[in-house]
């Protein structure tokens, strides 16, 4: 993975991290606010019902008394005007005001009128046998009272109406014992409460969306700000690598050509110096290789360079055959059985030189990291519109914990260092980047002491490939 890809990954992780923390914090805060406000509003609602019921409970004894007289005919119903009866209740329930008119001349005992919104609230007076005496308000509370009611009030909610039933007791003057006098039921529609809660939730959701958007913006800004110095130093490093590699090329070319001139006239070399010349030739070859690799990696880090690869239709089997032939002498030196199994006429769109570089990195590694007398097999076939190139060896293998590092720049395993001292650790990083540029994938499976298999997958060119023209 290149430095820039790593930086992008780190940036993405950091962004997700910031955003995750902020969203979780906001979510928890909003949930707490929502729960708290819902609880508080419900509590206020219940307190209000309790106040209503307590106010009405003051009048229960009097209401019972007046109601008895009413039932016993002390009131002449015909004398009461029609509007003194509530329109939607049976005539047997007179209005509280009329019932109380004779008794409560100062209007202090009845439920305060201004508190009752007739369409939304209701108060009912029950005797001790739970028989309804009168009701105020237009609420349609049809259910009967239950048994075992709590003294402090009993809340019940049905059909968007919440009611509080308050048992009322009075103390007998002499014995100071308490006796159940009856019940008051105060009811209220919950519509307004639901609307308030709905509004609160929408407020929180909209607030949440705005907060998350701002947070996301903040996370992006923070991440970019904190990674800016690293991005700049990567950019400088890339520029330096590119410049240095470029500058090293010309002196290296001079060294290489001078050495090959020297080597082409061995008679001019003092036999004692021959080994030194060979060592210089070998070192300059390796250095050229390293410089080329560094220059290529520096170029591949820039997106413009990615576009500048010249891609043409290529027959993979021919490229692989050539590459295998290059590696053959090295394999024979180690007595390694290098064989291949290539399907023909598989075409891909790519840069021949770069693809050859990838395959030669893979085959060279297989030969280098396989002990004497081992076997390396290169295969090519098509699977599901994809060309698959497999380079399999019976070499030292790669430990599972080392596999994630294989494509990192400059990484080499301990066992690889023992097997082969020289090596830069750039070959696999280059191979991965080049394969990605070709729209393909590279992967590896391996077992320590048994061998490794590197897979390259490339999209085939249908017009000229297998099944094509």
Question: Interface residues with ligand ATP (CB under 6 A)?
Answer: 361, 365-366, 369, 393, 395-398, 406, 412-413, 416, 423-428, 452
Contacted entry of ligand ATP, Mg ion, none for residue 369, CB cut-off 5 to 8 Å set by kind: ligand ATP
- What whole-number distance in Å separates Cα of residue 71 and Cα of residue 99? 11
DSSP alpha helix (H) spans, 302-399: 303-307, 316-333, 352-368
Of the pair 123, 428, the CB lying nearest ligand ATP is at 428
We find the least distance from the C-beta atom of residue 309 to ligand ATP, in angstroms, to be 20
- Given a contact cutoff of 8 angstroms between Cβ atoms, the answer to whether 338 and 360 are in contact is no
Residue 131 to residues 25, 150, 183, 185, 431, Cα–Cα distance (Å): 54, 18, 9, 12, 91
- Shorter beta-carbon distance to ligand ATP: residue 156 or 290: 290
Of residues 69 and 292, the one with the C-beta less far from ligand ATP: 292
- Choose from Mg ion, ligand ATP, none: what does 122 bind? Cβ within 5-8 Å by kind: none
Least CB distance from residue 276 to ligand ATP, whole Å? 23
Give the residue at shortest CB distance from ligand ATP.
427
Q: How far is the CB of 313 from ligand ATP (least distance, A)?
A: 28
DSSP 417-431: HHH-S---S-HHHHH
Cβ nearer to ligand ATP, comparing 59 with 361: 361
Residue ranges binding Mg ion (CB under 5 A): 365, 427
CB of 372 to ligand ATP, least distance (A): 15
Render 261-298 in DSSP notation, one character per residue: HHHH-GGGS-GGGHHHHHHHHHHHHHHHHHHHHHHHHH
The entry of ligand ATP, Mg ion, none that residue 426 binds, CB within 5 to 8 Å by partner kind: ligand ATP
Instruction: Provide the H-helix boundaries in 375-467.
Output: 414-419, 427-437
Instruction: Compute φ and ψ for 163, nearest 5 degrees.
Output: -125, 150
Q: Which of 187, 121, 183 is nearest to 149 (CA)?
A: 183
Is the CB of 76 or the CB of 422 nearer to Mg ion? 422
- Report what 424 binds from ligand ATP, Mg ion, none; CB cut-off 5-8 Å by kind: ligand ATP
Which residue number, 186 or 320, has a Cβ lying nearer to ligand ATP? Answer: 320
Minimum CB–partner distance for residue 345 and ligand ATP (Å): 28
Could you tell me if 20 and 223 are in contact, meaning their C-beta atoms sit under 8 angstroms apart?
no
Assign 70 to helix, strand or coil: helix
Smallest gap from Cβ 432 to Mg ion, in A, equals 12
Q: What length is written for the chain?
A: 469
Toward ligand ATP, which CB reaches closer, 298 or 406? 406
**Contact partners, residue 447, CB within 8 Å, separation at least 6:** 397
Residue 455: which residues within 8 A CB-CB, separation 6 or more? Answer: 388, 389, 390, 441, 442, 443, 444, 445
From ligand ATP, Mg ion, none, which one binds at residue 208 (CB under 5 to 8 Å depending on kind)?
Answer: none
Report the nearest approach of Mg ion to the CB of residue 1 (Å): 17
């Amino acid at each position: 993975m290149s430095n820039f890809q790593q930086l992008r990954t780190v940036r993405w992780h950091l962004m997700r991290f910031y955003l995750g923390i902020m969203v979780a914090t906001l979510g928890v805060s909003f949930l707490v606010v929502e729960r708290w406000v819902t609880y508080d509003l419900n509590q206020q609602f219940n307190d209000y019902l309790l106040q209503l019921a307590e106010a009405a409970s003051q009048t229960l004894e009097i209401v019972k008394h007046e109601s008895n007289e009413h039932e016993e005919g002390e009131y002449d119903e015909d004398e009461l005007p029609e509007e003194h009866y509530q329109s939607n209740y049976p005539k047997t329930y007179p209005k509280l005001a009329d019932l109380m008119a004779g008794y409560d001349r100062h209007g202090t005992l009845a439920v305060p009128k201004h508190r009752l919104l007739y369409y939304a609230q209701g108060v009912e007076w029950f005797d001790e046998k739970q028989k309804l005496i009168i009701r105020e308000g237009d609420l349609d509370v049809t259910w009967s009272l239950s048994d075992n009611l709590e003294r402090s009030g009993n809340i019940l909610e049905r059909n968007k109406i919440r009611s509080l039933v308050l048992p009322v007791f009075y103390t007998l003057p002499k014995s100071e014992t308490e006796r159940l006098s009856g019940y008051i039921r105060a009811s209220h529609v919950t519509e307004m409460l639901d609307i308030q809660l709905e509004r609160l939730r929408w407020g929180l959701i909209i607030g949440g969306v705005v907060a998350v958007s701002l947070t996301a913006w903040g996370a992006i800004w923070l991440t970019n700000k904190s990674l800016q110095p690293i991005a700049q130093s990567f950019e400088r490093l890339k520029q330096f690598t590119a410049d240095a590699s470029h500058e090293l090329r010309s002196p290296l070319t001079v060294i290489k050509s001078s050495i090959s001139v020297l080597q082409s006239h061995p008679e001019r070399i003092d036999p004692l110096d021959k080994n030194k010349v060979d060592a210089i030739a070998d070192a300059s070859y390796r250095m050229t290789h390293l410089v080329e690799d560094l220059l290529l990696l520096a170029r591949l880090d820039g997106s413009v360079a990615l576009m500048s690869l010249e891609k043409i239709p290529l027959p993979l089997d021919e490229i692989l055959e050539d590459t295998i032939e290059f590696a053959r002498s090295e394999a024979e030196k180690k007595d390694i059985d290098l064989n291949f199994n290539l399907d023909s006429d598989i075409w891909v769109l790519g840069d021949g030189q770069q693809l050859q570089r990838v395959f030669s990195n893979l085959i060279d590694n297989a030969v280098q990291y396989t002990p004497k007398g081992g076997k390396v097999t290169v295969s090519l076939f098509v699977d599901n519109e994809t060309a698959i190139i497999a380079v399999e060896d019976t070499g030292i293998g790669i430990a599972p914990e080392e596999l994630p590092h294989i494509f990192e720049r400059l990484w080499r395993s301990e066992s690889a260092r023992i097997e082969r001292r020289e090596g830069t650790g750039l070959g696999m990083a280059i191979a991965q980047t080049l394969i990605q540029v070709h729209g393909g994938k590279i992967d590896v499976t391996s077992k320590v002491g048994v061998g490794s298999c590197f897979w390259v997958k490339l999209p085939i060119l249908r017009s000229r490939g297998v099944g094509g023209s």
